[in-house]
Chain A
Amino acid sequence: MKRGLFILLLGVLVSMGAAYAVYCASTASHRAMLKEPAPELIWLKNEFNLTEAEFARISELHATYSLQCEQRCRVIESQNEKLQQLLATNSSVTPEIEHLLAERARTRADCEAAMLEHFFQVSHTMPPAQGNRYLTWAEEQTLGSGKEMELRHHQ
């Protein structure tokens, strides 16, 4: 093979090899994260610079919260089913429907209160600065979202 062309091709191969090696090295931690059972918690650990002890405590809190959240979701699901049945058999808002709507709203409010309580617990597990940052971020992402409903009246 001609020497010049060989060097030309070698350059292209070196470039591609370097790009691949750097890409693999730079994304290794993320790829390892995705293999974990709860990558979102590993993300939380990295994002808020948590120690192993803090991470273990937060994982425990998260597991407990998730279990309780699931139970509340089941309650809301059964309330929704009841409401569907009542709506199918009634043509006006009966006291029973009103009661069920209030009960469902209360369960939903309990959900939000429990979520907020979970955020406080998690933030208290973190160092103060990180805890405050987490709390601000979590509230913005959850309770702060969904303003579209209220804002539609301003249009």
Chain B
Amino acid sequence: MKATNPHDAVLSELLRLRRITVTLPPQFCDGVWRRIEREEAGSNFTLFAALTAWIESTLPRAQIASCYLAALMLVGIASGLWTAHGVSHRLNTALSVRYVQSVDPYQTVISNQ
């Protein structure tokens, strides 16, 4: 792209004529690369950091916090009821079999085989 501003042309000329006289500190390049590596390694945690930041910004709001707690409580109640229903059903079946075995000795023999 060509510079259209006359000031840019002057600046470009100055930059062209500039001579760097300052020497770089020892292992400057290594330091730069190390910083780049650190930045890249740090970028792996971006998702976690974003999630944490979202939680920190969203959950403390009173309405969202109460909705969140109510929803998890409902999930817990449903889960407890479902598990209890399964356990009760299995227990009822086991007890009915036990009753049958207590009155019919041949059932005990069959079930033990």
User: A26–B80 contact, CB under 8 A?
Assistant: yes
Interface-side segment among B6-14, B22-30, B34-42, B83-91: B83-91
Interface-side segment among A41-49, A80-88, A92-100, A123-131: A41-49
Number of interface residues of B (CB under 8 A): 37
User: A15–B73 contact, CB under 8 A?
Assistant: yes
User: A146–B69 contact, CB under 8 A?
Assistant: no
Contacts of B73 in A (CB 8 A): 14-15, 18
User: B76–A18 contact, CB under 8 A?
Assistant: yes
User: A138–B103 contact, CB under 8 A?
Assistant: yes
Instruction: For B88, give its contact among A16, A18, A30, A44 (CB under 8 Å).
Output: A30
- CA separation between A69 and B77, bound complex, in Å? 46
User: A4–B56 contact, CB under 8 A?
Assistant: yes
- CA separation between A44 and B103, bound complex, in Å? 12
Closest B residue to A22 by CB, please name it.
B80
Ranked 9 nearest A-B pairs via Cβ: A22-B80, A18-B76, A26-B84, A15-B76, A43-B95, A19-B80, A40-B99, A4-B56, A15-B72
User: B105–A111 contact, CB under 8 A?
Assistant: yes
- CA separation between A42 and B94, bound complex, in Å? 13
- CA separation between A25 and B102, bound complex, in Å? 29
In the complex, 5 of the A-B residue pairs with CB atoms within 8 angstroms, ordered by the A residue number, are: A4-B58, A69-B103, A118-B103, A142-B103, A142-B107
